[in-house]
């Protein structure tokens, strides 16, 4: 039961941060009215965080509950793959096929690269500990 509480706390924190960051980027960035930059930034940074946490928590001695809270809970609540999918469909329905292809490609490549970089950074941190 405690695991579910941890998951819920992590998920709630991730959802709140995603909403706040998405709202801020959408109003602060001039491209946001024509391109889903907020979701792209959230997915890439969330992928970085997940890569870092998965590697770092393995050596940090974190409990199963804390690992689940930070990875499945927080990162799962923070990242927005369903929103990414919907925004890609919207771009396609607007016949903006180049923007849809760019968005999908950059989202995939940048998110995987960010996850790798997070994992690599955790390797460096683990070696220095």
* SS3 of 26-79: HHHCHHHHCCCHHHHHHHHHHHHHHHHHHHHHHHHCCCHHHHHHHHHHHHHHHC
Nearest to 110 by CA among 46, 54, 28: 46
Question: What number is the average pLDDT over the span 10-26?
Answer: 96
The answer to whether 75 and 52 have CB atoms below 8 angstroms apart is no
CA–CA dist 116, 111 (Å, integer): 9
pTM, rounded to two decimals: 0.85
The average pLDDT across 33-47 equals 93
Q: What is the pLDDT of residue 29?
A: 87
């Amino acid at each position: 039961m405690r695991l579910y509480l941890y998951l819920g706390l992590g998920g709630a924190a991730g959802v709140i941060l995603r909403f706040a960051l998405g709202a801020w980027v959408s109003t602060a960035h001039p491209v946001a009215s024509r391109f889903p930059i907020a979701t792209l930034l959230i997915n890439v940074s969330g992928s970085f965080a997940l890569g870092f946490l998965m590697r770092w928590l393995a050596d940090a001695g974190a409990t199963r509950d804390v690992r689940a809270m930070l990875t499945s809970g927080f990162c799962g609540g923070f990242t927005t793959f369903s929103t990414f999918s919907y925004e890609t469909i919207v771009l396609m329905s607007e016949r903006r096929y180049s923007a849809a292809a760019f968005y999908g490609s950059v989202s995939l490549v940048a998110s995987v690269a960010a996850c790798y970089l997070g994992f690599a950074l955790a390797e460096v941190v683990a070696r220095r500990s």
